[in-house]
Amino acid sequence: MTVPTQLADQAVKNSATLPQVLLARATRSPDALAERHKRLGIWREFTWADVLDRVRAFALGLEKLGFQRGETLMLIGENEPEHFWAEYAAQSLGGMVLSVYPDQTADEIVYLAQDSQTRVFVAQDQEQVDKCLEVADKIDGVISIVFWDGAGLWGYTSPLLRDFKDLCKQGRAIHSEAPQHFADQVAAGLANDIAVLSYTSGTTGLPKGVMISHRYMFDNASRILGAIDIQPGAGYLTYISPAWVTEQIFGLTIGLLAPMVVNFPEGPEEVLSNIRELAVDALVFSPRQWENLASIVQARMLGAGPVRRRLHSWATDVGQRVYVERLEGRVPSLAARLQLPLAEALVLHHLRDNLGLGRADVALCGGALMAPDVFRMFHAMGVKLRNIYGATEIGLLTAHTGASYQLETSGRWMECDPSYGDPVEYRIAEDSELQVRGGSGFGGYFGKPDKTAEALTDDGWYATGDAVSMTDDGELVFFDRVKDMRQLKTGHSYPPQFIETRLRYSPFIKDLMTLGDQKRDFVTALINIDMEVLSRWAEENNLGFSTYTDLSQKPEILSLIRTEIARINTLLPDGSRVIRFANFPKELDPDEGELTRSRKLCRAFLEDRYGDLVNTLYSGAPDVDLEIAVTYQDGRKGVLKAKVAVTDIETTPSQLTTQKNGPKEGAL
């Protein structure tokens, strides 16, 4: 592979740890801008020399407190420069850093501090200090609680408390007496030293601390920089918590290695206004955060006048017909391409600028898959949003790259720089579990050799626990956790959540229920069509109908639904695809016990109520006569009689194979 330019510069080539890169940056480009933070309405800027001064001072202050190589420092707070400085400082001394989410409770912190053998807490403010004081006497060996925002703490008398600024002042005094000591400490660092403990979510047991080395950080940064163009000096917004390993890779590592100018917002409430001010080049959000941005756009349009709404609708439609068409590998129509400059000038350019995304060439979504409709919305606006996927234990693995990729996937496999490890290999087991090896490898769980062994297969592959598939053109599709997959009688598994979530994004489908278990050979679906959307579609296409029941059974409507399901089937492996479906003959109603009041499906009730229809889905018959007791809006009771059609998708039950496939393997 071609080594990214950023990793070829001497600051990186001659370094094995993050603090070594920092020292090199500050030596060679001391006056270059490194960080920017808005506090009290004013943007403060920090050069590489400024950052090194703070990191060095705090590190030497920590050392005087008694913090030593191999020990753990816990960080609790929002993304602010002090958070990053404290991390680099601890790593400069050969220490490990554990960042936790600011909203974690004292009980959760007790467990994390005990498990990680935390020696020093570094907390943002009074709220976080209170948590640390509450748990400190439950932790053996705690030597200090350091805070960087002292508001409200003037009456606190605990001997454990230290002010970040005071500690830095002591560190600067030490540096003036021994100017070479810090550099010697940094030089002693090795690539395989543990830099970070990143704890799992604990959904299958107590959280476990993944040991992440400096080599892991360099390895993952190189994968990203080799797959996605991030220019040196690019402005980056740090917003996702460093408790999530993705921010460790982006803000704390690529920020040094690219390097990027790392921008810290004033606070969570001000992040949107700060983005607009900064117009950053790169940012990483979770799906929820991208969805919140999408909601803001939609809310603004609802409050706009009819002319603005029509203009917005026209412009985003043009963007859809050009940007999304290109994204999906199709050639946009000449008419759409001719309209695009006007749509950009009148709407799209301003829309991106108002969101602060006018220069966001690197806009990434990590942590879970983005809803395709939201994805399309941003691309229609001209925002080149991409998915990334990985596992904390083994690193970032796939990303949307190039100009064309599938929205439903997590992208293509990224290459590993051989300087940091073996080529990344993957295989998909019989139960669809993704297994990986290579790169910088799996460092194991801190203090838990038994759990480390459990995470590996007998032949040494890391078992992610994620159920996935690969598309024909080499993109990875994430389904669900393996434990949440359902198994069929054939031995195949299928992802009900993936199928249902993707199909709900269809404008024609209001809700649906997949069927398939260990007593059944294949997957089927019952569809609740969207009457509002499909009635408009029927009118536009001169399709006559009388009632919901009538419309739901029209061959034209069945064909539309069949096409939607067939599209999702292309993302599913053989044996997991939806084979047959039927449309409910009536709209599902909470008053009849078919839905909860929050509009969740009452699955057991529905399968019993529509038992004849379910049996027909699996019998192979083309239709069934149903009689369903209904309650009308005026309270009258009656019986709905309907002939409900059953439609085959792409493979009839008689053609199903019951043979399992062995693991599929690939290497990069």
Note the pLDDT tens digit of each residue in 157-204.
999 999 999 999 999 999 999 999 999 999 999 999 999 999 987 766
The whole-model pTM stands at 0.85
pLDDT for residue 55 is more than 70: yes
pLDDT for residue 652 is more than 90: no
For 495-509, what is the mean pLDDT?
85
pLDDT for residue 130 is more than 50: yes
pLDDT for residue 25 is more than 70: yes
pLDDT for residue 1 is more than 60: no
**Residues 6+ away with beta carbon under 8 Å from 6:** 12, 225, 230, 232, 257, 258, 259
661: DSSP letter: P
User: What is the total residue count of the chain?
Assistant: 668
Nearest to 369 by CA among 322, 411, 420: 411
The three-class DSSP label of residue 45 is strand
Note the pLDDT tens digit of each residue in 455-491.
999 999 999 999 999 988 899 999 888 888 899 999 8
pLDDT for residue 306 is more than 80: yes
Dist. CA 92–CA 145, nearest whole Å:
19
pLDDT for residue 5 is more than 90: no
Q: Is the model more confident about 18 or about 355?
A: 18
Would you say the C-alpha torsion 125, 126, 131, 136 has a positive or negative sign? positive
For 498-513, what is the mean pLDDT?
86
The reported pLDDT for the residue numbered 662 is 47
The reported pLDDT for the residue numbered 227 is 93
For 300-318, what is the mean pLDDT?
88
The three-class DSSP label of residue 48 is helix
pLDDT-derived band at 597 (thresholds 50, 70, 90) equals low
pLDDT for residue 402 is more than 50: yes
Rounded (5°) CA angle 415-419-425:
40
The three-class DSSP label of residue 644 is strand
Tokens of 161: 């408390």
**Residues 6+ away with beta carbon under 8 Å from 463:** 429, 433, 435, 455, 456, 457
pLDDT-derived band at 654 (thresholds 50, 70, 90) equals very low
The reported pLDDT for the residue numbered 204 is 64
For 112-125, what is the mean pLDDT?
97
The reported pLDDT for the residue numbered 540 is 87
Dist. CA 269–CA 633, nearest whole Å:
44
Q: Of 32-46, 390-404, 469-483, 622-636, which gets the smallest average pLDDT?
A: 622-636
Tokens of 384: 């080149």
Q: Which residues pair with 486 in a beta bridge?
A: 494
The reported pLDDT for the residue numbered 298 is 77
For 240-249, what is the mean pLDDT?
94
**Residues 6+ away with beta carbon under 8 Å from 298:** none
For 140-146, what is the mean pLDDT?
95
Interstrand relation of 647-648 and 578-583 (parallel, antiparallel or unpaired): antiparallel
CB 76 within 8 A of CB 145: no
pLDDT-derived band at 66 (thresholds 50, 70, 90) equals very high
* Three-state SS letters, 237-306: ECCCCCCCHHHHHHHHHHHHHCCCEEEECCCHHHHHHHHHHHCCCEEEECHHHHHHHHHHHHHHHHCCCH
The reported pLDDT for the residue numbered 431 is 86
pLDDT for residue 95 is more than 90: yes
Q: Of 3-7, 329-333, 399-403, which gets the smallest average pLDDT?
A: 3-7
Inter-helix orientation angle 555-569/496-504, to 10°: 130
pLDDT for residue 667 is more than 70: no
The reported pLDDT for the residue numbered 139 is 93
The reported pLDDT for the residue numbered 629 is 85
Dist. CA 11–CA 2, nearest whole Å:
18
For 540-564, what is the mean pLDDT?
94
Dist. CA 565–CA 205, nearest whole Å:
36
For 289-305, what is the mean pLDDT?
80
CB 462 within 8 A of CB 475: no
The reported pLDDT for the residue numbered 657 is 40
pLDDT for residue 369 is more than 70: no
Q: Where are the beta strands (DSSP E) in 553-660?
A: 578-583, 623-631, 637-645, 647-648
445: DSSP letter: B
Q: Where are the beta strands (DSSP E) in 137-265?
A: 144-147, 161-163, 194-199, 209-213, 235-237, 261-264
The reported pLDDT for the residue numbered 668 is 65
The reported pLDDT for the residue numbered 655 is 44
409: DSSP letter: S
The reported pLDDT for the residue numbered 2 is 64
The reported pLDDT for the residue numbered 203 is 62
The reported pLDDT for the residue numbered 278 is 86
Q: Which residues pair with 386 in a beta bridge?
A: 364
Average pLDDT, the chain: 91
Dist. CA 230–CA 227, nearest whole Å:
9
The reported pLDDT for the residue numbered 582 is 97
The reported pLDDT for the residue numbered 592 is 85
pLDDT-derived band at 7 (thresholds 50, 70, 90) equals confident
CB 227 within 8 A of CB 388: no
pLDDT-derived band at 653 (thresholds 50, 70, 90) equals very low
Q: Of 4-13, 297-306, 503-512, 646-655, which gets the smallest average pLDDT?
A: 646-655
